[in-house]
Amino acid sequence: MERNHPGQQNGEKPRYIRLTPFGKWVSRKVRMLAEGGEDRRDDTGPVRQNGYLGNGAYATAAVAKLRHAVGREVGEDPEIFAWTMPPVDDADIAGNLAPYQNEPSPREQAAHAAITLFAVHQQSNHETSAHTDENVSLGRAVGRMAYGNLNESGIRSMFDRLQTAGSWKELVRHARGLITLLKRERIAINYGLLAQDLLALRGSRNQANVVRTRWGRDFQSAYHYQETSDAS
C-alpha cells in the first residue's frame, strides 16, 4: 500500500499545533542536519555545511554520533552538545536552569531524546528527510503506519506502552522502537513537536494527559483516514 507524505494527504486536515521557541529550535537543528545550511561564519563570510541528504561529511558524522547516543544519559557524550544542548543564554529556549545545577534539565533531556531519535530515523536515508515541518505528531504518524500493517497489534501495543511508561528511560526505549518502524515506512514526523510532547510528558499529570489525548485523537484520525481512503 502506497503511503502519502504525512500532513499532505488530500482531505485530511490535522489540527495545527503552535511550536514554542524550544520546539522551533529543535526543528531548526534537525532540519540543519538533514538539509544543511549556514553553520558558522569565518573571515571569508558564511560557511555552509551540506546536510545528510547531500551526503555532507560533517552531517553524516554527526548523525552517526547522535544515533549511538540515543537512550544514553545527557552528558555521556559531550561531542553531541553542539546539536542537542539548548542555548543557555536564551531562557525562551532553554528554560530556567537554576533548579538543575547538578542534573540535566527537562528541556535538555527532551532535546537530547528528540534529536538522537531523529538520527535513528534518518540513518541510511539520503533521499528524504525524517523531519517534516507539517503538523505530524508521533500519534498521527503511528496511526497511519498501523492501518493495513501485518503488525498492527504490535504497533498499537508499543504505542500504548510508550504512553504509560513508568520512567524516562522506558519512554525513550519505546519511542525508539516506534521510530525504527516509521523509518522502514519512510514516514516523517515533526521533531520540534515531538520534543515539546516529550517535555510535556515529563511535566504535570495534566500536561502529560493533554499529550496522550492529542496523540490518541491523532492516531484515530490518521488511521480512519487511511481506512476511508482505502475503502473508496
Decide the pairing of beta strands 36-42 and 45-50.
Answer: antiparallel
- Tell which CATH classification among 3.90.105.10, 1.10.520.40, 3.40.190.10, 3.30.365.10 matches the domain 21-37+46-88+102-231: 1.10.520.40
Nearest to 54 by CA among 161, 121, 128: 128
Query: Domain spans of the chain?
Result: 21-37+46-88+102-231
Q: What is the pLDDT of residue 39?
A: 63
**Which pLDDT value is given to residue 48?**
78
Q: Which amino acid appears at position 198 of this protein?
A: L
Q: Cβ-count burial of 138 within 10 angstroms (0-12 exposed, 13-18 middle, 19+ buried)?
A: buried
CA–CA dist 143, 137 (Å, integer): 10
pTM score, two decimals? 0.90
What three-state secondary structure class fits 59?
A: helix
In the DSSP assignment, the letter for residue 41 is E
- Amino acid 47: pLDDT: 73
> What's residue 49's pLDDT?
85
- What pLDDT is stored for residue 64 in this prediction? 97
Look at residue 215 in the predicted model and tell me its pLDDT.
96
Helices (H), the chain: 21-35, 57-68, 81-84, 91-94, 106-122, 138-146, 152-163, 168-185, 191-201, 205-231
Q: What are the C-alpha distances in Å from 68 to residues 79, 118, 120, 220, 223?
A: 12, 12, 8, 33, 32
Name residue, grid cell 519505546.
174
Tens of pLDDT along the chain (232 residues)? 334 444 444 455 555 678 999 999 999 999 999 999 876 556 666 777 899 999 999 999 999 999 999 999 999 999 999 999 999 999 999 999 999 989 999 999 999 999 999 999 999 999 999 999 999 999 999 999 999 999 999 999 999 999 999 899 999 999 999 999 999 999 999 999 999 999 999 889 999 999 999 999 999 999 998 888 777 6
- What's the CA gap between 194 and 6, in Å, rounded? 15
pLDDT score, position 141: 97
C-beta of residue 147 within 8 angstroms of C-beta of residue 2:
no
Rounded distance between C-alpha atoms, residue 206 and residue 186, angstroms: 32
